[in-house]
């Protein structure tokens, strides 16, 4: 899931929703064969209109807000940090409860109005419906306000596609990461808002024939040891583990970044411990200032020195990720097809290979 990149409706407050419902109902008048028939038809139409607005509006929230049930996934992990998934599920559950009860209330009141021939009872049922409907919606007032806030926060999570092979660039500030992302990217990288950093996350893209990859630098997250981060940042780093397919750790041997080499090496060790299953490419930047012969790759994003070799190493790792994800996607699709096709299951059970 790539952020909230689909349409989630603006969430109305309880007061706004009821004002919309009652305003629509207030405009309705119906003509009947006589005064009683006109009053009954008008009451039926008013109850239907007010009830339908509440029910359909609330259902649209339940249907169109993203599901957060999938475990071990990037977006739900980030969403949990930003809004709290337990509270989020509770709010959607409350909205669903209100929608269901509003529908039942509407149908019951419509039955009562249809059965009676007493104008006073018709009016009493309609007014009672308005009051009870308002009471139901008022009970989820806090949940609607929560979803208003959640919608805005989820929209600010950067549009990162966890299905696309992703390179995450790490290292201390001023070691040359931003320039590197710019040079590797096929277009100018975007700086997206991020819930846990002040500078925003830098998202670039690169192509390799028909393959596409993401390049991400997260200022403020991977430029300190794990112990130095606050609780929110620690959770964000844990979330990044679901997204990171390949890590590129940049070291500045010239120390012109302002951080001593031994401190940078300590951070590298911390990153290696935190991402044990992720391939990590270590490259030394600013080769135009200082270039060491220590077996590591070196480059200068300013002059282009070593960039071809670095790009080749990055693409090689990402191609492997691309192949693996393609195989996994095929297996998932095959599994879905098998579940959808009971006829196929019966055919396999009677295929010649099962006769042996």
Task: Report which of 220, 214, 213 is spatially closest to residue 193, judged by C-alpha positions.
Answer: 220
Ramachandran class of 72: left when φ > 0, alpha when ψ lies in -120 to 50, beta otherwise: left
Q: What pTM was computed for the model?
A: 0.66
Look at 4 and 133; give whichever has higher pLDDT: 133
Domain boundary among 115, 135, 155: 155
Residue 354 lies in a domain: no
Residue 26 lies in a domain: yes
Residues 143 and 191 in one domain: no
Integer Cα distance of 111 and 172 in angstroms: 69
Look at 351 and 90; give whichever has higher pLDDT: 90
- pLDDT tens figures, 89-110: 999 999 999 999 999 999 999 9
Residues 151 and 171 in one domain: no
Residues 69 and 100 in one domain: yes
**What is the rounded average pLDDT of the residues 195-213?**
76
Number of domains comprising the chain: 2
Residues 303 and 258 in one domain: yes
From the CB of residue 58, how many other CB atoms can be counted at a distance below 10 Å? 27
Query: Percent of the chain at pLDDT above 90?
Result: 54
- Structure-token pair, residue 157: 């999570």
Integer Cα distance of 168 and 18 in angstroms: 47
Q: Give residue 352's pLDDT.
A: 34
Residues 109 and 148 in one domain: yes
Residues 43 and 125 in one domain: yes
Domain that holds residue 213: 166-333
Residue 64: in which H helix or E strand, if any? helix 35-64
Q: Give residue 334's pLDDT.
A: 78
CATH number for the domain spanning 289: value is: 3.40.50.300
Look at 102 and 82; give whichever has higher pLDDT: 102
Residues 151 and 219 in one domain: no
Task: Report which of 130, 195, 208, 124 is spatially closest to residue 164, judged by C-alpha positions.
Answer: 208
Domain boundary among 121, 155, 189: 155
* Sign of the C-alpha dihedral computed for residues 154, 233, 77 and 207 taken in this order: positive
Residues 173 and 243 in one domain: yes
Beta bridge partners, 202, equal 191, 217
- pLDDT tens figures, 297-348: 999 988 999 999 999 999 999 999 888 888 877 777 777 777 766 554 443 4
- pLDDT tens figures, 135-165: 999 999 999 999 999 998 887 776 677 788 9
Q: Give residue 330's pLDDT.
A: 78
Residues 197 and 288 in one domain: yes
For residue 249, the 8-state DSSP code is: E
Integer Cα distance of 79 and 156 in angstroms: 10
- pLDDT tens figures, 160-199: 777 889 999 988 888 988 888 888 988 777 766 555 555 6
For residue 185, the 8-state DSSP code is: S
Residues 201 and 240 in one domain: yes
- Structure-token pair, residue 23: 């305003």
């Amino acid at each position: 899931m790539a952020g909230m990149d689909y349409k989630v409706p603006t969430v109305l407050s309880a007061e706004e929703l009821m004002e919309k419902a009652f305003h629509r109902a207030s405009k309705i008048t119906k003509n009947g064969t006589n005064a009683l028939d006109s009053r009954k038809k008008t009451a039926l139409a008013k109850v239907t209109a007010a009830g339908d607005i509440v029910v359909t509006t609330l259902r649209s929230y339940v249907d169109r807000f993203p599901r957060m049930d999938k475990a071990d996934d990037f977006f739900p992990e980030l969403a949990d940090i930003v809004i709290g998934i337990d509270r989020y599920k509770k709010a959607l559950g409350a909205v669903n409860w209100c929608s269901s009860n509003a529908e039942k209330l509407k149908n019951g009141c419509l039955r009562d109005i249809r059965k009676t021939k007493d104008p006073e009872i018709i009016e009493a049922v309609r007014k009672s419906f308005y009051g009870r409907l308002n009471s139901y919606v008022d009970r989820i007032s806090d949940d609607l306000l929560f979803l208003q806030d959640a919608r805005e926060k989820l929209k600010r999570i950067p549009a990162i596609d966890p299905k696309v092979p992703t390179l995450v660039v790490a290292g201390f500030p001023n070691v040359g990461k931003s320039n590197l992302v710019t040079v590797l990217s096929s277009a100018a990288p975007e700086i997206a808002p991020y819930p846990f950093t002040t500078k925003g996350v830098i998202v670039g893209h690169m192509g390799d024939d028909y393959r596409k990859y993401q390049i991400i630098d997260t200022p403020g997250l991977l430029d300190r040891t794990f112990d130095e981060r606050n609780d929110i940042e620690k959770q964000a780093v844990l979330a990044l583990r679901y997204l990171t397919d390949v890590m590129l750790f940049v070291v500045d041997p010239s120390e012109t970044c302002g951080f001593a080499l031994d401190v940078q090496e300590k951070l590298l060790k911390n990153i290696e411990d935190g991402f044990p299953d992720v391939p990590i490419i270590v490259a030394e930047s600013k080769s135009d200032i200082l270039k060491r012969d220590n077996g590591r790759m070196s480059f200068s994003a300013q002059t282009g020195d070593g960039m071809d070799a670095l790009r080749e190493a990055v693409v090689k790792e990402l191609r492997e990720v691309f192949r693996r994800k393609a195989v996994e996607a095929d297996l998932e699709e095959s599994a879905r097809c098998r579940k959808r096709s009971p006829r196929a299951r019966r055919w396999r059970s009677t295929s010649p290979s099962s006769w042996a």
